[in-house]
A and B are shown apart, each in its own frame.
Chain A
Amino acid sequence: MILNKVLFGNMTLSKLFFMLCLIIFWIIIAKVITLYLRKNFKKKLNKDHLEIIIKVVYYLIVVITIIWSLSLMGIKLSGLLVAGGFAGIVIGFASQSIIGNLVSGIFLMIERPMKIGNAVSIDGTTGIVEDIKIISTTIRTWDGFHIRIPNDKIFTTSITNYVSNVVRRFGYTVGIRYEDDADKAISIINQIIEDEPFALKNPAPLIFVDNLGDNSVNIAVKMWSPISEWYNLKNKMLWIIKKTLEENGIEIAFPQRVLWIGDQSIKEKILQN
């Protein structure tokens, strides 16, 4: 029989045919799995990242199938494993950080603590997320610099996402003179916030005398704004508050020191001169 013809060693044509069938079968299975992944994770993962994951899964199945079928055919892999193991150690040490970044990248894609376009602060770097790749993430700082941060660093540090909620709060401390009427100042500030469309009605703004400072009565002003508007509003409101208070006779205090001279007669003489 032609199928029993020995090709080399114990390998016959029938064994070779079986091995090929096994590999083809698992390639088909790998294709089905990749189709399933593509269909189910299309909307959950970035297209580029999904393609990388699909390729990794596909080739992993193919490589395991080939190794498995070789061992089934009686081809001893011990020599290969020793060489492979040694090479694996060398490659493992060399690519430790790459693998770490890769795994962190996959977990970041699953956890999604930030999205492309979000304003974030990562380990002291603040800016807009430009891209999240499988190995690294790119941030564009407010000054326009592009900073590449390895994903394992991002994964192990705290991430502040400034835009994950639809609104955010910001505030000021407004210091007025001790002789000014704080109630009137609070009423004026309240009206300014009420008249500003982007200062939200709810959650309500907070305006209160926060503390009695060395040089001023400090009024805390806190308001909420839609996330897309807060920065412009923050830049705009403080100056409006300052101008409106001054228009109403309330001055912003500046550092000052009142000196009392012990001997009143000397003080009167100084004043007369």
Chain B
Amino acid sequence: MINVRAPTTSSNPRVRLENVSRRQFLRSAAAVTAFAVAAEISGLEPALAYETGGAQMPHGTVNDPHVFVSIDSSGIVSITAHRSEMGTGIRTSLPMVVADELEADWSKVRIVQALADEPRYGNQDTDGSRSMRHFLQPMRQVGAAMRQMLESAAAKQWAVPLSEVQASNHEVLHRPTGRKLTYGELAKAAMDLPTPQLEALKFKPDNAFRYMGHGNVPIYDLFDITVGKAQYGYDVRLPGMTYAVIARPPVVGGKLRSFDAMEALKVPGVVKVLELKVSWAPPAAFSPLGGIAVVATNTWAAIKGREALKVDWEDGENGAYDSAAYRQQMAEAANKPGRVERTQGDFDKAFAGASKVVSAEYYVPHLAQASMEPLVATATIRNGECEVWAPLQYPFGAREAFAKLLELPIDKVKVNVTLLGGGFGRKCQSDFAQEAVLLSKALDGAPVKLAWTREDDLHHAFYHTVTYSRLDAGVDSSGKVIAWRHRSVAPTLFANFKPDPKREQAIELGLGLADVALDIPNVRVETGEAAAMTRIGWFRSVNNIPHAFAVQSFIGEIAEALGKDPKDVLLEIIGPPRKLELDKLGLTDPLWNYGDPYSTYPVDTGRLANVVNLAASRANWGRSLPKGSGLGIAAHRSFLSYVATVVEVGVDSQGKLAIPRVETAIDCGFAVNPERIRSQIEGAAVMGLSNFIGEISFKNGRAEQGNFDNYPVARIDNAPTNVRVHIVPNGSDVPAGGVGEPGVPPFLPALCNAIFAATGKRIRSLPAGDQLRV
């Protein structure tokens, strides 16, 4: 889930992070866990700023407490959550950071969801596992600034030196006299103070954290979720609202020839049928596909009305999209030289001189995000102003699109972000919400909810790309891998934004292809040509899934060919602890590095090897297992975090797969909310299994799967339910990495390596289908 756009020049100088100081030592693990409620915070530390890519994102970061915090006279602290909640817990975790630095009592904190307003809040594009990475420091600054404003207000009221007062647990104490003022009593005076200078801020030491690093704060919406009161996009209701569904062209780029609405209009509850006219042409970004909208008094009537429509579509050139034929073309491209993306040493010479060679080809199909809440948006236009309620990962981009569609100034467009019933990248694209806006406009501004069915969701996704890989390795007589070539063929998601480049672009190469740590002297990474014949989009972990599947499966195959332990070979290929030197990788394009500075987030092989060893030791790697059982291992750096997974499988005599245990180690830098990190990693294993069994395939340009009956996802009976998560302890000086996505990529290859260990069967092509059947 990565977005790319032109670099912004509008980053607010007020919020520029300065590299004030950089600690040269690593904090010990013990200090992180030394939780003390009454911790002295008189030993406040200076700002520990490290540089992130946050400032380079559109509208950068904002750290003004007046923007994010308000306190009322009863002491209730309202903290604004400006990122979208789709299940990662970020709507809780970032306000929790503020509350911690603010010395606020969490029971007196209320969370307010921000409108789409990046000039006010900074970047709100919730993707790329970036929220904590980019906003941990600004949110600490917000909390620290407000704490110091409360202390200043108290010192002023008591007419004492600032050095004699201290904020702690929702009140400010005058140390010499023991006098106290509550945050409620100080609220007005504190809120009226100007924001302190960044340089003047003091931050809590790690051992004084109440919430950060502890996982003791449940998600804010927990109670509401369990009683059915949490409000998702699908739950929005406006007075006088109608409900609509759209019949869209079944092939991307298809056009309407004609339609007949007579039968549809006879369906009870259907009030109107109209054409949603768009001029869809590539590169179309997130433009809606157009189609015929059926408007009704409830969702069911709209669905029945759509079933009664007669529509004739012109498919256009993507009508030729056929996954079986396309796979053949990709295989051909992977078997001839491609564009060189990385080259070290001389692969051809080393490979020709190798005493042993290993080659393999891998295939990962299209997948659909299939969040449990299908796409939905509600819109109305009143008195020249548009208001939208929708589950959006990128709400400000959506707001800009609505303003453009309606030719309204952006301040006449208001976008409310609901809870997202899952996102996984699909809700980055605002096509569905643009449909609602267009529809409301066609209905003279009347409020309308545009709902997608599950079939719509699977037929009109921005799909995970499809990837064909070929890998070749040469080994010398001592058993060391001396040559490595990885050819990757996949249509690019950048075909949405520019004339189709027909190969993976720099950002996609940075998703676990060009940036792989290989202690091998002769390396070549190439890409082959593949034109996009459907809309490719962001899918949790994106190209890291096929890249890690190929690389980590292939390492397992090399180990097999050499008769060595797969973990040992993995560690040999990762090599000794070092930070990869970019200028020695022979990269054609600069390394993207997830949009963050390499100096802050280098490829650190020591950290990668550490998670390998941690996961392996927790899994008792090397233990003997009964026949039909096996362990598999894989490790991958993505979204600037390091994850290794050991999967244990059992495959019975009928070929039925069981996953009794998964051990995953993650090093994501400072672990701000360990409890939500665990839940993300547990869920990543489940999604990893879904990626093993699911496929979206195309025939005559149409997605062949339409619901969970033919697009299977993991269920409680086959999903791993014994996932143990091991978080590498780090102090807050170790830059936070991503969490939402990095757990997914190593799961698939670890699983397939385990299946190989258990059965001797190597699964190189997904979905697994009946490959395990005996």
A and B interact: no
Binding site for A on B (CB under 8 A): none
List chain A positions with a Cβ less than 8 A from chain B: none
